Amino acid sequence: MHEGRPVYLKDIAAVIDGPEEAHSYSRIGFSNQYRNTDDAPKGAAEFPTVTLALAKKKGTNAVDVKNILDRLEILKKKVIPDGVNVEVTRHSGETAARKVDDLLESLVFAIITFVALIAFTMGWKEALVVAV
């Protein structure tokens, strides 16, 4: 109160409804082992981060994400400024390709073992029929 009248906030200050306070911040940190490699960004061990999550469409091949990485290289040259480092932290296409390769190796080993067992027990002609 001033001289018997209420004093309002608008009388003594400018009230602005500004941007909302940040709820969380994203940062990426690198291990000492990674920082000693040539691929590592130079400087601090921790950097501000913007995270983009890209997912495959249903029914598409998870291994075929090369077009996304090619597009990223184009963006690095045209849109992404110098000094901004881009890291692929999870690449499910590589993981899927590795699992498929492991499965095929196991399948070939199983077929060869089975054909050899048939050849040993029943003969080479029967093994050849099974192999074909």
Q: Which helix (H) or strand (E) holds 115?
A: helix 92-122
CB atoms within 10 A of CB 105: 10
pTM metric for this prediction: 0.44
pLDDT at 38 (0 to 100): 66
Q: Within 13 Å and on the Cβ side, how many CA atoms surround 72?
A: 12
Answer yes or no: is 1 within a domain.
no
Q: How many domains does the chain have?
A: 1
pLDDT at 117 (0 to 100): 92
Answer yes or no: is 59 within a domain.
yes
CA dihedral 37, 43, 44, 47 (to 10 degrees): -90
- Averaged confidence pLDDT in the chain: 80
pLDDT digits (tens, 9 = 90+) for 20-60: 777 767 777 766 666 666 666 666 566 677 777 777 778 77
Which domain, by its residues, includes 88?
9-131
Q: Are 69 and 86 in contact (CB under 8 A)?
A: no
pLDDT digits (tens, 9 = 90+) for 67-110: 788 888 888 888 888 777 787 777 777 777 788 899 999 999 99
Answer yes or no: is 4 within a domain.
no
pLDDT digits (tens, 9 = 90+) for 112-131: 999 999 899 988 888 888 88
Strand pairing category for 46-48 and 27-29: antiparallel
Answer yes or no: is 3 within a domain.
no
